[in-house]
Amino acid sequence: MRADEELGAAEAARLRHLENEERIRPALAVFGAFVVLSLVAGIFIFPLPRLAAAAAITVMFAGSIVLTQRLVRRSPHPERWLLTEQTIGVAALCAVLLLTEGLHGPAAPLMAVAAALAGARFRGATLAGVLAVDIGAMLTAAAIGGMSDLSTLYVWMAVLTFIPALAHVLANSERTARAEAVLDPLTGLLNRKALERRAEELEGQACLTGSPVAVIALDLDGFKQINDRLGHDAGDAVLREIAYAMRKSLRGFDLLYRVGGDEFLVLLPGGEEDDAARIAEELRAAVEELGGDCADVTLSLGIATARGTAVDVHRLRADADRAMYTAKSAGRNRVAAGPIAA
Alpha carbons 23 and 280: distance in angstroms, whole number: 37
pLDDT at 330: 93
Alpha carbons 76 and 209: distance in angstroms, whole number: 16
**Are 259 and 309 within one domain?**
yes
Read off the pLDDT of residues 213-265 as tens digits, 9 standing for 90 and up: 999 999 999 888 887 787 888 888 999 999 989 988 887 778 889 998 889 99
Alpha carbons 256 and 247: distance in angstroms, whole number: 7
Cβ-in-10-Å burial (0-12, 13-18, 19+) of 113 comes to: middle
Of the pLDDT bands very low, low, confident and very high (cuts 50, 70, 90), residue 166 is confident
**Are 176 and 275 within one domain?**
no
**Are 296 and 327 within one domain?**
yes
Which helix (H) or strand (E) segment holds residue 221: the answer is strand 212-221
Beta pairing class for 212-221 and 255-258: unpaired
The answer on pLDDT for 155 being more than 90 is no
β-pair partners for 264? 218, 258
Q: Which of 182, 203, 230 is the last residue of a domain?
A: 182
**Are 218 and 280 within one domain?**
yes
pLDDT at 107: 72
- In a domain, residue 275? The reply is yes
**Are 178 and 272 within one domain?**
no
**Are 21 and 162 within one domain?**
yes
Of the pLDDT bands very low, low, confident and very high (cuts 50, 70, 90), residue 285 is very high
pLDDT at 123: 76
Q: Worst-scoring range by mean pLDDT, 175-179, 259-263, 284-288, 294-298?
A: 175-179
Alpha helix (H) ranges present in the chain? 3-41, 48-74, 78-99, 108-121, 124-144, 150-182, 192-209, 223-230, 232-249, 273-288, 313-329
The answer to whether the CB of 332 falls within 8 A of the CB of 300 is: yes
Average pLDDT over residues 117-145: 78
- Between 286 and 24, the more confident residue is 286
pLDDT at 218: 94
**Are 93 and 218 within one domain?**
no
- In a domain, residue 187? The reply is no
The answer on pLDDT for 342 being more than 80 is no
Query: Which of the given ranges, 58-67, 94-103, 121-130, 326-335, has the highest pLDDT on average?
Result: 326-335
Report CA-CA distances (Å) from 271 to 92, 172, 230, 296, 306: 41, 35, 38, 30, 9
Average pLDDT over residues 120-132: 80
The answer on pLDDT for 311 being more than 50 is yes
**Are 271 and 293 within one domain?**
yes
**Are 80 and 118 within one domain?**
yes
pLDDT at 212: 92
Q: Select from 108, 131, 111, 109 the least CA-distant residue to 119.
A: 131
Going 25 to 30 to 33 to 35, the CA torsion angle's sign is: negative
How much is the pTM? 0.57
- Between 94 and 6, the more confident residue is 94
- Between 197 and 274, the more confident residue is 274
Q: Which of 147, 163, 182 is the last residue of a domain?
A: 182
Cβ-in-10-Å burial (0-12, 13-18, 19+) of 273 comes to: middle
Of the pLDDT bands very low, low, confident and very high (cuts 50, 70, 90), residue 7 is very low
The parent domain of residue 22 ranges over 3-182
Q: Which of 148, 182, 216 is the last residue of a domain?
A: 182
Provide the CATH number for the domain around residue 328: 3.30.70.270
The answer to whether the CB of 257 falls within 8 A of the CB of 192 is: yes
Alpha carbons 164 and 161: distance in angstroms, whole number: 6
- Between 254 and 303, the more confident residue is 303
Whole-number mean pLDDT of the chain?
Answer: 79
**Are 19 and 87 within one domain?**
yes
Read off the pLDDT of residues 46-69 as tens digits, 9 standing for 90 and up: 677 766 777 777 777 777 777 776
Helix axes 192-209, 313-329, angle to 10 degrees: 110
Alpha carbons 60 and 251: distance in angstroms, whole number: 38
pLDDT at 5: 44
pLDDT at 326: 93
The answer to whether the CB of 72 falls within 8 A of the CB of 17 is: yes
Alpha carbons 249 and 31: distance in angstroms, whole number: 46
Q: In this structure, which amino acid lies at residue 230?
A: L
**Are 198 and 170 within one domain?**
no
Number of domains in the chain: 2
